[in-house]
Structure 1
Amino acid sequence: MAETPFAITEPPAQTGQEKLEAGTPLPNYDVSTDQSTTSRIWGHMLEDVRPSGFVEFELVLLTFFTGIQDAISFPDFHCFASNQTGNTVFLLVALVLPWLDGDQFYVPNIGAALGFFLLGGWVTGQVSHIVGPRMRLWLWCCNLIQSALVFVAAALQFKYGVVPQGGQAVMVVGLLAFASGSQVVQSRSMKMTEISTAMATAAWVDLIIDPKLFHVRNRPRTRRIMFLLALAGGSLLGAGVYRTVGSAAAILISAAGKFVVAIMYLFNSADRPKKTDAGDNC
């Protein structure tokens, strides 16, 4: 009697749920990698920036771009966006000689420059006391805001042209002055008062009375010289751009430079906390 051959059948394919129940290993995805990267970035932004030669370079750059601003603010608006010594004198002269308003200077522009400069310094200084004046995130945000304000001022100049008096003039002067006031406060937080980024009078006086003026190693003297040269160089460039292209282009260059410095703050070295002896904690 002939035997009937058995039919060879394959087992039914398992569904995804059955494979999971059977213990099939799943692709390994380590969530901690993303979390650790985010934590490192956040920790980097919360570090205090250490005063260093790189910070000196950044402050010198800011001084250079401040010189560009003041070189165009006076011929356009008859006031200074950053140098408040001149604005203070003009404002007081206007109280005694009001007929000079509109001829030698414009009182609303001067008032806006001085007022917004002080406002920018006050806001930046008071918030710095709360968050920490040298926190990288704070410095980065401040410089981005300052750059944005100057970019807006440049955009107004490009779109509407130079308007020496009136609402637009007050707006442009106010934007530039607020950014400058904030910038000066930040420079002081770096413990490098020799590079104020704006005012030159104190730097000139401190330079010429320095008892170690001609010593080879004299960091404060060197900082003052770098500051004065940067301010002079920025003023010359600003005047040249103003003469050939116009004030809007000069303000745009200043805004772009401030933005570059804001990015540079991301790469400053951190101020590491000092190690204390075990006995100090007892």
Structure 2
Amino acid sequence: MRIRPAERKNGSQVRRRALKGGSATFGPSWERLWKYLKGSVRVDLYAEIELLLLTFCTGIQDATTFPDYHCFASNQTGNTIMLAIAATGMHEIDLFVPANIGTSLGFFLLGGWSVGQLGHLIGPQKRLWLILSNFVQTGMTFGAAALQYHFGVTLEGTCAIGVIALLAFASGAQVVMSRAFSCNEISTAMATAAFVDLLVDPYLLQANNRPRTRRVFFLISLFLGALSGGVMYVRASSALAIFISGVGKAIVTVMLLFNRVGKQEKSEEVVGMV
């Protein structure tokens, strides 16, 4: 039986289409993966768990940086007050190290500004941007742990400045990232506003009150993180505590791969399929 030229041509076209679309057999195509990574993430319970885990990591860091360097890596309200007091000359008392406080505040602002402005250009809720941002923060946290492990803890000096700078920059970037989720009740760092907003909530005792619940779990996570950091500081070392904080941030980085797609993009995808 002879195969006509037209049939042979059609058969080769079918084979080419099969080869071209064969990636669907082994998983999503690169185009689909790229579209998935460029898409926005949905703010839901899963995203809230990620923010609470980051809050826990923040508590660990501040519980170790304050006794080691007399400053906070994330709590810039305390740093601002201490910097102002140190400027009056009270830094002669062994309570403040102006260089450490200034480094923490400065690099926190730098991290927040740089990541925040880049987020505006790229898209603050884009999955790939959130993963990249958290990946960099995680690397900085591990870097701070490595510095402490290798050089030990010194109240002042180059190593102290390096550890504080890495943690403060990562903390500033983290707070900005939490704002990208439009979940202001879980800032991952500042507790004062959460306490006040919780107390003045007119629906404080109402059963279904998502903002109230977010604030409560945020405060609990921050407290438990600081408690855990304090235990590790006393029974192990600061380097281990910061390393554990980095592990928590690394877990969140991986979790960001599995956030659900934003509602708007999901609806657009469904419309395109109709």
Tell me the TM-score normalized by structure 2.
0.88
**Cα distance in structure 1, aligned partners of 2:126 and 2:243:** 27
Q: Which residue does 1:84 correspond to in 2?
A: 76
Partner Cα separation in structure 1 for residue 164 and residue 17 of structure 2: 58
Aligned counterparts of 1:151 and 1:34: Cα–Cα separation in 2: 37
Is 1:204 equivalent to 2:189 in the alignment?
no
Distance 2:93 2:103 in 1: 15
Pairing 1:156–2:154 present: no
- Structure 1 residues 98-107 or 139-148, which shifts more? 98-107
Give the structure 2 partner of residue 47 of structure 1: 39
Distance 1:33 1:120 in 2: 43
Distance (Å, rounded) in 1 between the aligned partners of 2:163 and 2:195:
29
Residue in 1 aligned with 2:61?
Answer: 69
- The structural deviation recorded for 1:28 is 9.8
**Aligned-partner Cα distance in 1 for 2:122–2:17:** 40
Instruction: Decide whether aligned partners of structure 1 residues 167 and 205 sit closer, same or farther in structure 2, where only a CA change above 3 A counts.
Output: same
Letter in 2 for 1:112: T
Q: In structure 2, which of residues 164, 167, 181 is the aligned counterpart of residue 173 of structure 1?
A: 164
In the TM superposition, what is the alpha-carbon distance from 1:31 to its structure 2 partner? 3.6
Moved over 6 A (4+): 26-29
The unaligned stretches of length 5 or more in structure 2 are 1-11, 269-274
Q: Deviations for 1:12-66, whole angstroms, at most 9, x for unmatched residues?
A: xxxxxxxxxxx9xx99971443496111111110110011110001000000010
Q: Which runs of 5+ in 1 are unaligned?
A: 1-22, 277-282
SS in 2 for 1:30: helix
Aligned residue number for residue 5 of structure 1: none
- What CA distance in whole angstroms lies between the structure 1 residues aligned with 2:92 and 2:62? 20
How many pairs were matched up? 251
Bigger share in helix:
2
Distance 1:256 1:173, change over 3 A: same
**Alignment check: 8 A CA contact 2:61 2:241 kept:** yes
Q: Using a 3 Å threshold, how does the CA distance of structure 1 residues 166 and 52 change in structure 2: closer, same or farther?
A: same
Give the conservation status (yes or no) of the 8 Å contact 2:76–2:105: yes
Aligned position for 1:95: 87
Q: Percent identity?
A: 49
1:108 counterpart = 2:99: yes
Counterpart-to-counterpart distance in 2, 1:267 and 1:142: 16
**Within-5 A mapping of 1:8-19:** none
From the CA coordinates, give the structure whose radius of gyration is larger: 1
Q: Assess if the C-alpha contact under 8 Å between 1:101 and 1:107 holds in 2.
A: no
CA distance in 2 between partners of 1:133 and 1:28 (Å) = 37
Q: Is the 8 A contact 2:91 2:98 kept in 1?
A: no
Structure 2 partner of 1:194:
185
| 2:22 aligned partner | 33
